[in-house]
Structure 1
């Protein structure tokens, strides 16, 4: 077995849990659940094909309440009725020692009334997102904010009961947790809004709710992660100075890792083009060893993955490449790198357990760079200095 790459080394969290290597499958939307949020056989097959090699497998997102649904084909963990399917999902993802992490969220304003079956979207404030056809949400009442915090805790209880090794709180990609932190989407005048410190409060309250559930229902081996996007391009919007303040607080919370969502690992500031220091380096300095980091964004080859972990970033997440090559880790471990597939053929989608819905989502909605074998390839620098539509894979 190859030992030449730092990402093949195990990692032990502060809670004593050891992950067999530093390669992570990040949460990737596959829009293949049933419309009512139950897991499908297509999804189980998709998970089974890709697990077993990586150290951690973070699932596609599951909503914590009915108002949190963001798109069709999305998993739900909003009710105990989903537990039988979630138990199958956890068991499938945990093959050969891979740690199964369930990502949980509320979409907030990043949904629409069609997805919500006629119900208006919700957010921190009644401010529409700056995207085509965005609907104006209604602001959550204080009571609804409190209930949403409870819902995250209840979702964590279900994840524990289902047998997952952890949960990841999706505080990135402009969803509800990020919406409360953002000065664009949060114009509240109560305790949940205001300056950067006040806009942190919702995320911190969710972390506490999740931690309380872990303390009550799990043992110390249960992993809790938090995912963030470092910047927004809206004005007003999140800037890296805000994020570094938030990270300084997050690093001392009862979480086990911080996941940085970007379309390119080494991206520099989207807002200050004169600043050439990669955002991940700024974040690493701010964390200062208090939490392990997962970095993601357009990593494909073993050399690119090793550059991340050689730099002292604890985990490297590989998304689109694990769609094309489910056995990426196994091939690297067995000195079989020449057989790694870096292109995808439309003829192989069934073999790769990629449903038509997922492929359409990747290529049409996300415009994801997939290296389709018989089509013109994309510019490899496409996402180096801008926000990617598939951000985080």
Structure 2
């Protein structure tokens, strides 16, 4: 067996040791019931992919009914979800894998149809430039405080269900990013305007989660945070904004930072003259205070080794759909049997839920790595909303 660097453990600053540096990226699978309760198909899907990897992160779970972004979405918004959520946590924790629940609010990235007649809410009444989306209602201060409380309540449920941690989804154009972005947040009160004010909402959520964790007595509970470092809109989030935000996150008490991009080594979308990978800039801004988790374009052990030479954790998405036992096969010196293509005949063996399979073979057929001659080459982003790259 090759002694890959990603097979070594890492201890977070709350004392929790992750057995290796490979993480299953949070991926949309749209397989929960209409009310957000986890299905048995989802439980089996996550169970099959746990055990070898160091950490497994769920697809995004809404923290309130008004935060729902798409049908089939997991929910952590009410106590009724707890029995199945507990089964999911236990399925994810096999052989020492850490189970992390990703929590979010979609904000304006939803529709009144999905919200059963309710108008979407966001930082400001500005429509996202995506097909089929609507002008949201600007949130009141009372609603802002309620959403912060909702994130805390969802975290309490994650603790009750037996998860090892939560990941705050502050990326992929969802509500937390909407508050940070000058494109979607054009408020004139303390929750908008200056960069400092636009940081206020995500930092308040982190503070609320820390309060909940402290009250629970679970000192070893993990709090992660996911960001998207840039937006192409103008005004929008530019790298300079993110590099000022990152040190605040490093000092906020979270235990890791997860950067959502389609490629670990991507450079700036807005400054083509800057050829330094964004993740290297973010790592420097963290100043060693917390570990960095990166994702995008990692499929082979060599890809993961290169990534982990630079960054503490490497998250893998599409390859773990195709090969649930990726780590185990490396540990067994059986790399030659790792599959890098999907076939319809593999679906049952791989426990891929039907809604996810439909998603992969229709809207996002190229990313599945399907073994057909019609497969075009394509890049994709791990773990984003159904109307974006998967």
- TM-score interval (norm. to shorter): over 0.9
Q: Is the 8 A contact 2:58 2:100 kept in 1?
A: yes
2:65 paired with 1:62: no
Residue of structure 1 equivalent to 2:286: 287
Matches within 5 A, 1:269-284: 269-284=268-283
Q: Does 1:136 align with 2:135?
A: yes
Task: Give unpaired runs (5+ residues) of structure 2.
Answer: none
1:173 aligns to 2:147 (yes or no) = no
Q: Specify every segment of 5 or more residues in structure 1 that has no aligned partner in the other structure, as ranges.
A: none
Q: Distance in 2 between matches of 1:350 and 1:118?
A: 37
Structure 1 residues 28 and 383: CA distance shift in structure 2, 3 A: closer
RMSD (Å), alpha carbons: 1.7
TM-score scaled by structure 2?
A: 0.96
Structure 1 length-normalised TM: 0.95
What do the CA deviations read for 1:239-296 (whole angstroms, capped 9, x no partner)?
0000011101101011000000001110111111111111001111111211101000
Residue correspondence of structure 1 range 64-79 to structure 2 within 5 A: 64-79=63-78
Question: 2:23 touches 2:313 (CA, 8 Å); kept in 1?
Answer: yes
Partner in structure 1 of residue 322 of structure 2: 324
How far does the alpha carbon of each residue in 1:6-26 deviate from its partner, in whole angstroms, 9 at most, with x for none? 000000111111111000001
Deviation at 1:390, TM superposition (A): 8.7
Q: Distance in 1 between matches of 2:7 and 2:233?
A: 38
Q: Please say if residues 28 and 385 of structure 2, whose CA atoms lie closer than 8 Å, have aligned partners that are also in contact.
A: no
Q: Deviations over 1:66-91 (max 9, x none)?
A: 10000000111111111111111111
Tell me the residue number matched to 1:82: 81
**Matches of 1:370 and 1:360 in 2, distance apart?**
11
1:356 — aligned with what?
354
User: What SS does structure 1 have at the residue aligned with 2:368?
Assistant: coil
Task: Give the drift of 1:365.
Answer: 4.0
Distance in 1, Cα, partners of 2:291 & 2:346: 36
> Hey, what does 2:252 align to over in structure 1?
253
Q: Offset at 1:130?
A: 1.1
Aligned length: 388
Paired residue for 1:149?
148
Work out the CA distance in 2 between the residues paired with 1:388 and 1:368: 16
Separation in structure 2 between the aligned mates of residue 390 and residue 114 of structure 1, nearest angstrom? 15
Deviations, residues 171-197 of structure 1 (Å, cap 9, x unaligned): 000000000000111011111001111
Indicate conservation of the 8 Å contact 1:104/1:168, yes or no.
Answer: yes
In structure 2, the residue matched to 1:342 is 340
Distance 2:33 2:151 in 1: 22
1:44 is matched with: 43
Deviation at 1:368, TM superposition (A): 5.2
Alpha-carbon distance in 1 for matches of 2:369, 2:15: 39
